[in-house]
Amino acid sequence: MKSILVSWIGFTDISSSKGTNSAGLGPIAQASVDRRYDEINLISDLPQQTAINYVNWLKVHTSAPINLHSEKLSGPTNFGEIYKAAVIVVTRIQQKHGRNFSLTFHLSPGTPAMAAVWIILAKTRFPSELIESSREHGVVSVSVPFDISADFIPDLLRRPDRKLEKLAAGLSIEAPEFEDIIYRSDVMKRIILKARRVAPRSIPVLIEGESGTGKELLARAIHKASPRMNKAFIAINCGAIPAELMESELFGHEKGSFTGATRDRPGYFEAAEGGTLFLDEIGELPKKMQVKLLRVLQENEIKRIGAVTTKKVDIRIIAATNKDIVDEVASGSFREDLFYRLAVAVLKLPPLRDRAGDLSLLIDKLLGQINQESAIEPGYKDKKISTRAKNLMLQHSWRGNVRELLNTLRRAAVWTSGNTIHLEDIEDALSPLSAADNNDKKILNRPISGGINLPDILKNVAAHYLKRALEETHGNKTEASKLLGLSNYQTLSNWLKKYDVN
């Protein structure tokens, strides 16, 4: 079994290679001299030539092959970037050597943040030996009991979590992978915070939300922010594949396994090896395939149709649905055990109507996007939107969410010959289905010549806002009563009872 050393290059190592300090050979060279390693992997965020010069110097002191991994950091104490860089490098080592190697992480070089990340990885994702070195004591193994690690890790993560809290407060912290998601509402800030926390891990994610809320966009952002970012992201619509072809499409088939199978064909799972498989509309997956998918998630292996042996796969599953999967489980149309396998991290994307403050921002951003896309089209003029037109859009229900909003703006931009999109242009651009739904849901100005049921209208309105207030406050009646302008939680309880809201 090969023994592999992994370490950041620290300033002490650089100084030692130049003979400008009294630390002797420096931590890395000391370890490579005192212990035998079959391979040395060094991570550097230093200038490229500086790192190359150090590697050339180190080769004089060891016969072990040395691999240099350049990883750019915005700062030497950015835990998230350090963690991501370390995971990428160790994953490369795994892909190269399979399972026939043992890891050693060197704690001495680099910053305390880098050492802390090595401890986390050694105690969680990549079991490894930890070493440190000094001129006085040489190279020694470091024992960090797991219970100490368990206490240490939450303290370590508290600093980046404070940064994420700043983001929730509206302060700017870069997250380029999520920049295509346009938002400023509190509810979307919470969703993006959760997505950023779960992105570096390989656990399955289930994204719930109505059609057009941007589930695939969020899934792609999570993939881009993960250690798998340089591998494939493959999106599959489970509702668009015929049931009789589902197994072949997902798992592949062998030549001759059925009529028409004229050659071996890998499935989507093999195509996504090392990357992310996005299973959209997972609620449409047939029961037979739910059983097979469950086995894949349990065993991390697939079997092509007609094959005798199975094949290991390393992929991350992100699933999405516009259905309430809990209801599907209760009705028996979706397997409960598969639900718990997929729903390790659940992100619920809110509909556009519940994203207070986002709509105006989205209109401006999407119109700018349309102008940019259409700039090369003959005779196209950049469009702006009038105040009256924008007010109409702000009052619309947008049952198709962001997708409907984008398509409405595209139609209006095409049909408007001048530079300004007016009220009439938006009225014409609204889809008939959306307009009919919007009219049906209007409370005021309903025709009453044929009679209306006022108690039912009042009940629907009250029940709607009572449920939303409870969801917004996570069931806190005191806070919900404040949102609704009710005097106290007891009044809210009376309303809940009156309008039969649980």
pLDDT attached to residue 123: 77
pLDDT attached to residue 449: 57
Residue 135 domain-assigned (yes or no): yes
Residue 385 and residue 360 in one domain: yes
Give dist(CA 277, CA 487) in Å, integer.
50
Give dist(CA 145, CA 129) in Å, integer.
12
pLDDT attached to residue 282: 93
Give the CATH number of the domain where residue 342 resides: 3.40.50.300
Q: Cα dihedral sign for 81, 82, 83, 88?
A: positive
Q: What is the pLDDT of residues 439-479, one digit of tens each?
A: 444 566 555 655 677 887 888 888 888 888 888 887 888 88
- Cα distance from N-terminal residue to C-terminal residue, the chain: 61
Residue 339 and residue 365 in one domain: no
What is the identity of the amino acid at 352?
Answer: L
Is residue 215 predicted with pLDDT exceeding 90?
A: yes
Range of the domain at 262: 176-350
Residue 249 and residue 358 in one domain: no
Listed residues 350, 384, 403: the one ending a domain: 350
Q: What is the pLDDT of residues 28-72, one digit of tens each?
A: 999 999 999 999 999 999 999 999 999 999 999 999 999 999 998
Which of 65-74, 126-135, 137-146, 347-356 shows the lowest per-residue confidence on average (mean pLDDT)?
Answer: 137-146
Residue 274 and residue 317 in one domain: yes
Which of 73-87, 166-180, 268-282, 284-298 shows the lowest per-residue confidence on average (mean pLDDT)?
Answer: 166-180
Residue 279 domain-assigned (yes or no): yes
pTM: 0.55
Residue 346 and residue 371 in one domain: no
Give the CATH number of the domain where residue 141 resides: 3.40.50.10770
* Across 211-236, average pLDDT: 94
Listed residues 148, 168, 192: the one ending a domain: 148
Residue 153 domain-assigned (yes or no): no
Residue 129 tokens read as 């030996």
pLDDT attached to residue 22: 61
Give dist(CA 178, CA 189) in Å, integer.
11
Residue 118 tokens read as 């090595």
**Residue 396 near residue 426 (C-beta atoms within 8 A):** no
Give dist(CA 55, CA 71) in Å, integer.
15
pLDDT attached to residue 80: 83
- How many residues are given for the chain? 502
Q: What is the pLDDT of residues 256-298, one digit of tens each?
A: 888 787 888 899 999 999 999 999 999 999 988 999 999 999 9
Residue 242 and residue 285 in one domain: yes
Residue 141 and residue 268 in one domain: no
DSSP string, 205-273: EEEE--TTS-HHHHHHHHHHTSTTTTS-EEEEETTSS-GGGHHHHHHEE-TTSSTT--S-EE-HHHHTT
Is residue 152 predicted with pLDDT exceeding 50?
A: no
* Across 232-257, average pLDDT: 89
Is residue 350 predicted with pLDDT exceeding 90?
A: yes
Q: Decide which of 158 and 101 is more confident.
A: 101
pLDDT band at 157 (very low <50, low <70, confident <90, very high): very low
Q: What percent of the chain has pLDDT over 90?
A: 39
Residue 328 and residue 188 in one domain: yes
Compute CA 430 distance to the chain's CA centroid, rounded to the nearest angstrom: 32
pLDDT attached to residue 100: 80
Which whole-number Å values give the CA distances from 358 to 3, 166, 217, in the listed order? 53, 19, 16
Residue 181 domain-assigned (yes or no): yes
**Residue 59 near residue 66 (C-beta atoms within 8 A):** yes
pLDDT attached to residue 177: 84
Is residue 160 predicted with pLDDT exceeding 60?
A: no
Which of 31-45, 92-106, 394-408, 440-454 shows the lowest per-residue confidence on average (mean pLDDT)?
Answer: 440-454
Mean pLDDT over the full length of the chain: 85
Residue 166 domain-assigned (yes or no): no
Domain count, the chain: 4
pLDDT band at 163 (very low <50, low <70, confident <90, very high): very low
Give the CATH number of the domain where residue 464 resides: 1.10.10
**Residue 12 near residue 109 (C-beta atoms within 8 A):** yes
Residue 323 and residue 391 in one domain: no
Residue 345 and residue 374 in one domain: no
Residue 391 and residue 482 in one domain: no
pLDDT band at 308 (very low <50, low <70, confident <90, very high): confident
Closest residue by Cα to residue 428 from 446, 409, 441, 443: 409
Residue 78 and residue 112 in one domain: yes
- Max mean pLDDT among 100-104, 160-164, 407-411, 474-478 falls in 407-411
Residue 95 domain-assigned (yes or no): yes
* Across 356-370, average pLDDT: 90
pLDDT band at 145 (very low <50, low <70, confident <90, very high): low
**Residue 195 near residue 187 (C-beta atoms within 8 A):** no
